[in-house]
Amino acid sequence: MLTGAEAVLPALAQHASAIHAQTGTVCIVSDPETYRIGDDKLLTCQWLDAHGFPCAAYAASEDTAAVHALAQAHGYPLLAKPRCGGGCRGLFHIEDATALELVAGRPDYLVQQYVGNDTDEYTAGCFCDRDGGVRGCIVMRRELHEGTTVVAEAGPYPEVRDAAIRITQLLRPMGPCNFQLRMHEGRPVCFEMNIRFSGTTPVRARMGFNEVEATLRHYVLGEPAYDLPLVTRGTMIRYWNEMYIDPEGCEQLRQAGSLDAPGRFLRQIEDYGIRPCEFS
């Protein structure tokens, strides 16, 4: 069972052993504690701090004294984000003391120092075998829109790659993990960890870093782990495309709640911007 859905993964992590015992299904998910470290942004910061990794200064929103001390020490802007959830949902910039009061004392938020800039943000995907060995890492500089990567450019980025590998070595996830980092004052600072398949999994596979295949071969088929290729070239630009659907399919979905043959109702997907590509 493979999923990157945030709504599913906490329950899957909790019950993976029981699911395997009852059905034989191998659930590709880390243990509950490891998954929780990445899912909860406050725990992420605390874990990075405890293990000596560079980390943006932070405070739990409930701790009003710590929130005000953070603003005094680092100034504005600051970031406020829900402790759990992704895709920039609920994230906002705190530009001044008035905005700070909107989040100080609010439950389940993380207030964080603003580090780096939008042009120096990276996503790093790593693959870990069952013995805790890191068998590959791919780093892409990225541009975001509404929390989604819309431009990704693979490169060597040695400082970012080294930081991601060292984090993975200590974290020891089951298979895939993904980190978001920014360069700040000459060093990579990790500000988010996704202990799962991430939204750029197909992008990395297209570039030659296929962590899904590596996961299935190693964790499901029991094959020896192998090193994934070092990918340092490749650019992805993500488009939004219109899909045209037969009205009969829409009506069937409204009436029955499902489609008897989904492909039958698809008329066209606009293919502008889509061209065959090769990576070297």
Q: For the residues 72-78, what does the mean pLDDT come to? A: 95
Give me the pLDDT at residue 111, please: 97
Stronger pLDDT, 78 or 244, i.e. the higher one = 78
Share of the chain above pLDDT 90, in %: 74
pLDDT confidence bin for 276, thresholds 50/70/90: low
β-sheet bridge partners, residue 183: 188
Give me the pLDDT at residue 220, please: 96
Asked if residue 216 lies in contact with residue 225, where contact means CB atoms within 8 angstroms, the answer is no
Q: For the residues 272-279, what does the mean pLDDT come to? A: 57
In the chain, count of helices (H) and strands (E)? 9, 12
Stronger pLDDT, 76 or 90, i.e. the higher one = 76
pLDDT for residue 279 is more than 60: no
Q: Which of 195, 209, 185, 186 is nearest to 164 (CA)?
A: 195
Which residues, including other chains, have CB under 8 Å from residue 191's CB and lie 6 or more apart? 44, 55, 56, 112, 115, 180, 181, 182
Domains identified in the chain and CATH numbers: 58-113 (3.30.1490.20), 117-237 (3.30.470.20), 242-280 (no CATH)
Stronger pLDDT, 212 or 149, i.e. the higher one = 212
Lowest-confidence range among 50-59, 78-87, 150-159?
78-87
pLDDT for residue 280 is more than 50: no
Instruction: Report the SS3 class of residue 5.
Output: coil
Give me the pLDDT at residue 117, please: 86
The C-alpha angle with vertex 41 and arms to 86 and 186, in degrees rounded to 5, equals 100
pLDDT for residue 242 is more than 90: no
pLDDT digit string (tens) for 163-186?
999 999 999 999 999 999 999 999
pLDDT digit string (tens) for 190-227?
999 999 999 899 999 999 999 999 999 999 999 999 99
d(CA 167, CA 34): 12
| Amino acid identity at 209 | F
Count the Cβ atoms, other than its own, within 10 Å of residue 27. Answer: 19
Q: Which helix (H) or strand (E) holds 259?
A: none
Q: Which two tokens stand for residue 159?
A: 């400082």
| Amino acid identity at 20 | H
Lowest-confidence range among 47-56, 72-81, 117-126, 138-147?
138-147
d(CA 214, CA 12): 20
pLDDT confidence bin for 88, thresholds 50/70/90: low
pLDDT for residue 273 is more than 60: no
Tokens 């066209």 belong to residue: 268
d(CA 81, CA 67): 13
| Amino acid identity at 194 | N
Helices 32-39 and 9-23 cross at an angle (nearest 10°) of 160
d(CA 175, CA 195): 9
Count the Cβ atoms, other than its own, within 10 Å of residue 13. Answer: 22
Q: For the residues 143-155, what does the mean pLDDT come to? A: 83
Q: Which of 84, 78, 45, 76 is nearest to 191 (CA)?
A: 45
Query: Sign of the C-alpha dihedral, residues 96, 102, 103, 104?
Result: positive
pLDDT for residue 67 is more than 50: yes
Q: 77 preceded by cis ω (within 30°)?
A: yes
The C-alpha angle with vertex 54 and arms to 49 and 56, in degrees rounded to 5, equals 85
Q: What is the pTM of this model?
A: 0.84
Give me the pLDDT at residue 266, please: 82
Q: Which helix (H) or strand (E) holds 164?
A: helix 158-171
pLDDT for residue 155 is more than 90: yes
pLDDT confidence bin for 245, thresholds 50/70/90: confident
d(CA 142, CA 183): 12
Asked if residue 47 lies in contact with residue 28, where contact means CB atoms within 8 angstroms, the answer is no
Give me the pLDDT at residue 97, please: 94
Give me the pLDDT at residue 278, please: 56
